[in-house]
Amino acid sequence: MSCLQTISDYGLRSLGIGERLLPKTDITICEQFVLIGSGLFWNIYFAIFALSIGFISAISIAIMKNSSNRFLSLIGKYFIFIFRGSPLFIQFFCAYEIFVLFPKIGIDLNLIFIEVTLETRWLTRAWLGALIVLYLNTTAYSAEIFYGALKSIPKADIDAANSLGLSSKSKFIKIIYPNMLRFSWPSYTNEAIFLFHATSLVFFSGFPAWGQSGDALYYANYFADKTFNPFIPYPIIAFYFILLTLVIIGLFGIINTKLNKHLPSDLKSKTRIKINFIR
């Protein structure tokens, strides 16, 4: 089988398109590259949706923690503490056990005029259940980053906004929010990279893959078992993750440049790739 034929047969297998049976004998490097690359669709899916939804939630939690209202502040603090204080791996298993307890037929909600059944069976599947866990985890870490940025906003900027008579909404949109993003973006870039790497833990969690079409680590583990040689599939998955990490750094670097475009060149914070020889 040629490599082009392999791409045609297995390129979209993780999405349920193409050959269903995995190669069992005479496994080629091309097949490993293609199938592991196919599994990356799920890793990218987890990262994009968890980051996108978590970004908005994290800002809300950070504002709650920074609120002068003691009740809201405690909610923000405890949410961040629980999800930052417990290992992500344990969160996966706890969430799966909780979701399994839900009725498989759904939960009925009586809304007076109509009764709605909430679908619950999909919560035990990786595409939704694991996504919820990743979303909650990145929300907590991102919220702490944004909270630190909120505390770093110069008081002089807030006083200037108050002296101009800006409303709370205008002050947040024009002063607080832009500065918060500018101060937090380099750290948030690291959180985005961490979350993308953390998507590989979904394979080890209790959440089953959709139709046995798992993520990149699912296929890497399959090839390691079949060929008894882990030194090919695992470096392949590392290669893919490194490439996509560079893409994340590039995209977030562009946004960082936009956030700091009004500053003099010597004051702009830049996203740089550095090799840490000692950590």
Structure confidence at residue 60 as a pLDDT band (50, 70, 90) = very high
Instruction: Report the pLDDT value the prediction gives residue 279, as an integer from 0 to 100.
Output: 33
* Range of 10-24, 92-106, 188-202, 209-223 with top mean pLDDT: 188-202
pTM of the model: 0.89
Helices (H), 11-68: 29-65
Give helix 233-259 / helix 216-227 axis angle, nearest 10°. Answer: 160
Instruction: Report the pLDDT value the prediction gives residue 277, as an integer from 0 to 100.
Output: 40
In 3D space, the residue among 239, 237, 197 whose CA is nearest the CA of residue 221 turns out to be 237
Bridge-partner residues for 117, per DSSP?
108
Residue 265 pLDDT > 70: no
Residue 278 pLDDT > 50: no
Instruction: Report the pLDDT value the prediction gives residue 115, as an integer from 0 to 100.
Output: 59
For 74-88, letters b (16+ CB in 10 Å) and e give: eebbebbeebeeeeb
- In order of their start, the domains of the chain are 41-208 (1.10.3720.10)
Instruction: Report the pLDDT value the prediction gives residue 74, as an integer from 0 to 100.
Output: 97
Residue 96 pLDDT > 80: yes
Structure confidence at residue 209 as a pLDDT band (50, 70, 90) = confident
Residue 275 main-chain phi, psi, to 5 deg = -95, 125
Structure confidence at residue 59 as a pLDDT band (50, 70, 90) = very high
DSSP-assigned letter for residue 201: G
Residues 25-39 have a mean pLDDT of: 94
Question: What is the average pLDDT score of the chain?
Answer: 89
